[in-house]
A and B are shown apart, each in its own frame.
Chain A
Amino acid sequence: MADKIVVKNLFVYYGKFQALKEINLTFTDRKITALIGPSGCGKSTLLRTLNRMNDLIKGVKVEGEVYLDGENIYLNNTNLVELRKKVGMVFQRPNPFPLTVFDNLVYGLRVRGTNNNRLLKEIVEKSLNNVWLWDELKDKLKKPALSLSLEQQQRLCLARLLAVEPEVILMDEPCSALDPIATGKIEELMFELKKEYTVVIVTHNMQQAARVSDFSGFLLLGDLIEFGETGKIFTAPKDERTQDYITGRFG
Chain B
Amino acid sequence: MKRIFISLISKFYTSLTGLASVLIIFIVAIILGNIIYNGLPGISWKFLTNAPETGMTGGGIFPAIFATVALVILMTLVVLPLGVFTAIYLHEYASQGSKYVYWVRLAIHNLAGVPSIVFGLFGLGFFIQFIGKNIDNIFFAHTLVYGQPAIIWAALTLALLTLPTVVVTTEEALRAVPDSFREAAYALGATRWQMVRHVVLPQAIGGILTGGILAVSRGAGEVAPIMFTGVAYYLPYLPTQLNHQFMHLGYHIYVLATQSPDVEVTKPILYSTVLVLLVLTVCLNFVAILIRTKTRQRLRGER
Contacts and interface: CB of A to CB of B under 8 A. Distances in A.
Interface of A: 51, 53, 56, 58-59, 80-82, 84-85, 88-91, 93, 95-98, 107-108, 110-112, 144, 146-147, 157, 160-161, 164
Nearest to B194: A111
Interface in B172-187: 178-187
A95 B181 contact: yes
Contacts of A146: 300-301
Contact of B187 (A82, A89, A98, A147): A89
Contact of A144 (B187, B191, B301): B301
B96 A58 contact: yes
B189 A84 contact: yes
Question: Chain B: interface residue count, which band?
Answer: 20 to 34
A56 B184 CA distance: 12
Interface of B: 95-97, 178-191, 194, 198-199, 202-203, 298-301, 303
Contacts of A93: 180
Given A91-B184, A98-B299, A56 B189 contact: no
Contacts of B202: 98
A95 B178 contact: yes
23 contacts: A56-B183, A58-B97, A59-B97, A80-B186, A81-B190, A82-B189, A84-B187, A85-B189, A88-B189, A93-B180, A95-B181, A95-B184, A97-B184, A97-B185, A98-B203, A98-B298, A107-B185, A108-B189, A144-B303, A157-B184, A160-B188, A161-B188, A164-B188
A130 to B, nearest CB: 16
A118 to B, nearest CB: 21
A81 B191 contact: yes
Contacts of A80: 186
Nearest to A89: B187
Contact of A107 (B179, B183, B198, B299): B198
A59 to B, nearest CB: 7
B111 to A, nearest CB: 26
Of all A-B residue pairs in the complex, the 7 with the closest CB atoms, nearest first, are A108-B188, A85-B189, A89-B187, A95-B180, A144-B301, A146-B301, A111-B190
A110 B188 CA distance: 10
